[in-house]
């Protein structure tokens, strides 16, 4: 048989082919490894979840931010103080603070979050949560949305039992209708600049438009930042005959409600007896 046209591969040729094939396998394997071993994407920063309770005032929120986050309390107070945005939200010609509009909720604070962004979250939440509130009942009593927010802020500080929110709102409406002073101690505390469980006689005489024991009508603005339930109650008060209420101080968190001063005085005596352990 003729071997013409047939090429014989030398041992050196075999070695070269093996080396080439090995190199090719290494290159392919390296490419596959590189395709699979992509650089890991940096994990997104975990935010601090800040819970703002209902009924807190600006100073309390600022203090919490200073404890829990990198946000500056002084900047928070400065940026929520009296200014143009408060005037726009309140719908009044006089600049107001953002008290009342700093909606209580849970907010994420990232390392890059600024004070202005945090405040914007609160104001946005206020607008969104209250967008469905019906203010027609208040409008019939010549009360504005800002008035309702102010009433809600007092309810938030006065009421512990949810079922009493609308009743306390009804008492406030009744006293406003009769041009009586509201006599709400929480407004005196706001005038003092801090919450105080027991007010003295000198406290009650503080000369401030927020002192509703001395000045009739609503205080100039909200005394806290209320939640939606209190805002709803302020917009839809219960139709009740009561003109007075006082905390029972019996551990229930409830109030005594009265239609006359005589009944109210009797309720005050019972309340004081509970405080004394009677």
Binning pLDDT at 50, 70 and 90, where does residue 115 land? very high
Please check whether residue 65 is in contact with residue 76, taking contact to mean a CB–CB distance below 8 angstroms: yes
Per-residue pLDDT tens digits for 120-137: 999 999 999 999 999 999
- The pLDDT of residue 142: 95
Q: What is the pLDDT of residue 33?
A: 52
The Cα 117–Cα 132 span in angstroms is 24
Residue 231 contacts residue 131 (beta carbons within 8 Å): no
DSSP character at residue 244: E
Q: Name which of 64-78, 102-116, 189-203 the model is least confident about.
A: 189-203
Q: What's the whole-model pTM score?
A: 0.83
Q: Is the pLDDT of residue 34 over 80?
A: no
Determine the Cα–Cα distance for residues 244 and 158; give it in Å rounded to an integer.
Answer: 13
pLDDT of residue 84: 83
Going by pLDDT thresholds of 50, 70 and 90, the confidence category of residue 198 is confident
Q: pLDDT, tens digit, for every residue of 208-229?
A: 999 999 999 999 999 999 999 9
User: Across residues 172-185, what is the average pLDDT?
Assistant: 96
Report the CATH fold assignment for 48-130.
Dna Ligase; domain 1 (3.30.1490)
What local confidence, expressed as pLDDT, does residue 230 receive? 98
More confident of the two residues 27 and 218:
218
Element (H, E) at 34: helix 11-36
Provide the percentage of residues in the chain whose pLDDT is more than 90: 72
Mean pLDDT for all residues in the chain:
87
Q: Among 10-24, 36-50, 62-76, 248-262, which is the least confidently predicted range?
A: 10-24
pLDDT digits (tens, 9 = 90+) for 44-101: 788 999 999 999 999 999 999 999 999 999 999 999 999 888 999 999 888 899 999 9
Provide CB contacts within 8 A for 225, sequence distance 6+: 52, 54, 55, 56, 57, 58, 61, 99, 100, 101, 102, 103, 104, 153, 156
Q: Where are the domains of the chain?
A: 48-130, 136-240
Say if residue 17's pLDDT is above 70: no
pLDDT at 196: 85
pLDDT at 233: 98
| pLDDT value, residue 24 | 44
């Amino acid at each position: 048989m003729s071997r013409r046209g047939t090429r014989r591969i030398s041992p050196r040729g075999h070695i070269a082919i093996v080396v080439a094939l090995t190199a090719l396998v290494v290159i392919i394997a390296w490419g596959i490894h590189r395709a699979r071993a992509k650089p890991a994407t940096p994990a997104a920063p975990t935010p601090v979840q800040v819970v703002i309770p209902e009924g807190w005032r600006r100073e309390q929120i600022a203090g919490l931010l200073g404890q829990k986050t990198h946000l500056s309390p002084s900047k928070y107070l400065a940026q929520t103080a009296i200014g143009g945005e408060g005037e726009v939200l309140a719908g009044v010609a006089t600049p107001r603070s953002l008290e009342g509009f700093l909606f209580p909720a849970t907010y994420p604070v990232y390392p890059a979050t600024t004070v202005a962004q945090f405040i914007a979250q609160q104001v946005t939440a206020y607008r969104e949560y209250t967008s469905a509130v019906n203010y027609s009942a208040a409008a019939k009593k010549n009360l504005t949305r800002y008035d309702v927010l102010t009433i809600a802020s007092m309810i938030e500080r006065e009421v512990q039992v949810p079922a009493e929110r609308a009743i306390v709102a009804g008492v406030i409406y009744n006293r406003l209708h009769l041009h009586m002073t509201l006599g709400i101690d929480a407004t005196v505390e706001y005038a003092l600049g801090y919450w105080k469980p027991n007010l003295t006689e000198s406290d009650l005489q503080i000369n401030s438009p927020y002192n509703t024991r001395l000045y009739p009508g609503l205080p100039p603005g909200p005394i806290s930042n209320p939640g939606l339930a209190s805002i709803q109650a302020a917009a839809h008060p219960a139709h009740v005959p009561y003109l007075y209420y006082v905390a029972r101080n019996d551990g229930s968190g409830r109030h005594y409600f009265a239609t006359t001063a005589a009944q109210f005085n009797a309720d005050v005596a019972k309340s004081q007896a509970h405080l004394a352990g009677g």
